[in-house]
């Protein structure tokens, strides 16, 4: 008889585990507490128009090989549009363009960097020195990155206009709070290792559509039993094995194996307190911190820019995504504010006022434009915080409970909190389960060569 697996959580981590195990002879049941799949990579219906609107814009990069594999497998890769050029804007409205030349990495971006208007030549030389030193740092070193930057001659202006500009978006955390390890990961994998590593890919459809019809069809064709609006209450653990999952509303569910693919605080709620206290594997999760992200959705009566996106510096937001004319006479811009702690205590109206005011200053076409409507959406615990030494609290996917495996971008994937990290965690959990049943197989995709 086929072994059964109960996957708790329908985010990308749980979905990746399901797509890995279903074709390999497992009876897979996936439960999700909400009415939609893909977790944080999801959309909501705008009450004014019924349009699907992303909670926050998600993007991929060329270095995200596992997310690319997952997208190809479920048949949605054609919805991801590469952005071969990145557009950087300063408050004076000047724009620099970053595009790879036909040169091997890391020289592919040399010309774009050399002509960037927002750093002086002296600052660019300091950055180049910093990148050289960063690349040579030991893989496992993780001191405070701010101290490392100061030690290597990076001024606050350089941090604001280069290091922080990239890292706040990539890690959803400010440079003064992160460790060296994942700062290095971002710059080496994203910019120095491969010509395509830095290339951003933006979905051409809302996330609810991206992880919609094709995904549902794939799951159905592979006999994955998907149960929506089904929340677990507690895992029953006997003799260091899960015997059942008690449901919040209804009977218990049982399986041969279980994969938890929920946020770390939710996993702690699912486990008996005695189990959490007995294993540091679980109790260490209490040390993990989170960071918020805010998306500000704005519909104007005219287009604000012809650029597909803008990376902002010395500004409130980090990215502006141009979603075009989404309905007759309405042009949609989304502003992403990562590590959005500055908004704590502010109402949505004040956040909207600040962000819309900045858009009007930066984009002259919007100076007198009518704001038709706006929505402010904040994920207060959007990602785990990549503080120095965070990996000592991130667990591997094999738990001390014999038939329980753990997935989530916050588990130990060697990646920060990204869609790529979530998919990797699901593949790693599936690898661990296959190893447990005596069928070892490599599922995690190789990095760009």
Indicate the pairing of strand 257-260 with strand 60-61.
unpaired
pTM: 0.97
Instruction: Please check whether the domain covering 43-100+197-207+290-384 is classified as CATH 3.90.660.10.
Output: yes
Q: Is 37 helix (H, G, I), strand (E, B) or coil?
A: coil
Q: So what's the pLDDT on residue 139?
A: 84
Task: Give the tokens for residue 135.
Answer: 């690349």
Query: Using CA atoms, how far apart are residues 137 and 145, in angstroms rounded to an integer?
Result: 12
Residue 175 vs residues 125, 149, 184, 375, 418: alpha-carbon distances, Å: 20, 9, 12, 28, 17
| Residue 246 CB-density burial (10 A; 0-12 exposed, 13-18 middle, 19+ buried) | middle
- What is the C-alpha to C-alpha distance for residues 4 and 380, in angstroms, rounded to an integer? 35
**Can you read off the two tokens belonging to residue 26?**
């497992």
> Distances in Å between the alpha carbon of 97 and those of 311, 324, 327, 435?
10, 20, 29, 47
In CATH, 4-41+211-288+388-436 is 3.50.50.60: yes
pLDDT digits (tens, 9 = 90+) for 311-348: 999 999 999 999 999 999 999 999 999 999 999 999 99
Q: What is the DSSP string of 51-82?
A: -EEESS---EETT-HHHHHHHHHHT-GGGEEE
Query: What integer pLDDT is reported at residue 212 of this predicted model?
Result: 96
Using alpha carbons, list the distances in angstroms from residue 4 to 14, 29, 357, 407: 15, 8, 54, 17
Position 344 scores a pLDDT of 95
Q: Enter the tokens of residue 24.
A: 């390999």
- Residue spans per domain, the chain: 4-41+211-288+388-436, 43-100+197-207+290-384, 104-192
What the block records as the tokens of 164 is 């922080």
Q: How far apart are CA 303 and CA 333, in angstroms?
A: 9
Domain covering 104-192 assigned CATH 2.60.120 in the classification: no
Instruction: Tell me what pLDDT residue 47 has.
Output: 83
| Euclidean distance between CA atoms 446 and 423, whole angstroms | 13
**β-pairing verdict for 241-247 and 232-238:** antiparallel
Q: β-strand 290-300 against 80-83: which pairing, if any?
A: unpaired
User: Rounded distance, CA 143 to CA 149, Å?
Assistant: 11
Structure tokens at 285: 């999760």
List C-alpha distances in Å: 264 to 121, 260, 271, 285, 401.
Answer: 45, 9, 11, 7, 16
pLDDT on residue 41? 95
Residues 6 or more apart in contact with residue 349 via CB below 8 angstroms? none
Q: How far apart are CA 394 and CA 281, in angstroms?
A: 8
Sign, CA dihedral 314-315-316-317, equals negative
Q: Report pLDDT digits (tens) over 8-56.
A: 999 999 999 999 999 999 999 999 999 999 999 999 988 888 889 999 9
- How confident is the model at residue 46, as a pLDDT? 86
Residues in contact with 265: Cβ distance below 8 Å, sequence separation at least 6, in sequence order? 285, 381
- All residue ranges of the chain with pLDDT < 50 are none
């Amino acid at each position: 008889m086929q072994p059964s697996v109960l996957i708790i959580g329908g985010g990308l981590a749980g979905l990746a585990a399901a797509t890995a195990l279903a074709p390999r002879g497992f009876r897979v049941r996936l439960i999700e507490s909400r009415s939609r799949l893909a977790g944080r990579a999801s959309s909501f219906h705008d009450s004014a128009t019924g349009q699907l609107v992303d909670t926050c814009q998600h993007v991929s990069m060329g270095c995200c090989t596992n997310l690319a594999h997952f997208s190809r497998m479920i048949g949605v890769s054609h919805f991801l549009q590469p952005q071969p050029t990145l557009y950087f804007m300063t408050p004076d409205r000047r724009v620099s363009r970053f595009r790879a030349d036909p040169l091997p990495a890391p020289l592919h971006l040399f010309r774009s960097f050399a002509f960037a208007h927002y750093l002086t030549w002296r600052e660019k030389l300091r950055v180049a020195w910093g990148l050289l030193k960063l690349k040579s740092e030991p893989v496992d070193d993780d001191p405070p990155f701010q101290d490392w930057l100061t030690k290597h001659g990076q001024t606050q202006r350089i941090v604001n206009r280069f290091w922080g500009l990239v890292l706040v978006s990539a890690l959803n955390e400010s440079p003064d709070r992160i460790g060296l390890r994942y700062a290095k990961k971002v710059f080496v994998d994203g910019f120095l290792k491969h010509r395509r590593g830095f290339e951003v890919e933006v979905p051409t459809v809302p996330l609810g559509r991206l992880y919609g019809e094709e995904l549902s069809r794939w799951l159905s064709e592979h006999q994955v039993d998907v149960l929506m609006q089904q929340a677990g209450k507690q895992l029953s653990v006997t003799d260091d094995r899960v015997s059942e999952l008690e449901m919040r509303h209804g009977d218990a569910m049982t399986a041969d194996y279980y994969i938890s693919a929920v946020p770390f605080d939710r996993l702690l709620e699912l486990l008996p307190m005695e189990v959490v206290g007995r294993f540091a594997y679980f109790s260490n999760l209490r040390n993990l911190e989170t960071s918020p992200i805010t998306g500000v959705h704005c519909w104007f009566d005219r287009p604000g820019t012809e650029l597909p996106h803008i990376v902002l510096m010395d500004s409130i937001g980090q990215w502006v995504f141009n979603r075009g004319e989404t309905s007759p006479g309405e042009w949609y811009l989304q502003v992403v504010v990562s590590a959005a702690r500055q908004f704590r205590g502010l109402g949505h109206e004040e956040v909207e006022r600040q962000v819309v005011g900045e858009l009007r200053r930066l984009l002259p076409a919007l100076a007198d434009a009518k704001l038709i409507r706006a929505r402010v959406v904040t994920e207060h615990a959007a990602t785990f915080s990549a503080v120095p030494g965070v990996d000592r609290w991130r667990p591997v996917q094999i738990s001390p409970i014999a038939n329980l495996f753990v997935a989530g971008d916050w588990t130990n994937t060697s990646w920060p909190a990204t869609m790529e990290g979530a998919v990797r965690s699901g593949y790693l959990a599936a690898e661990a389960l296959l190893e447990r049943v005596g069928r070892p197989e490599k599922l995690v995709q190789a990095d760009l060569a």
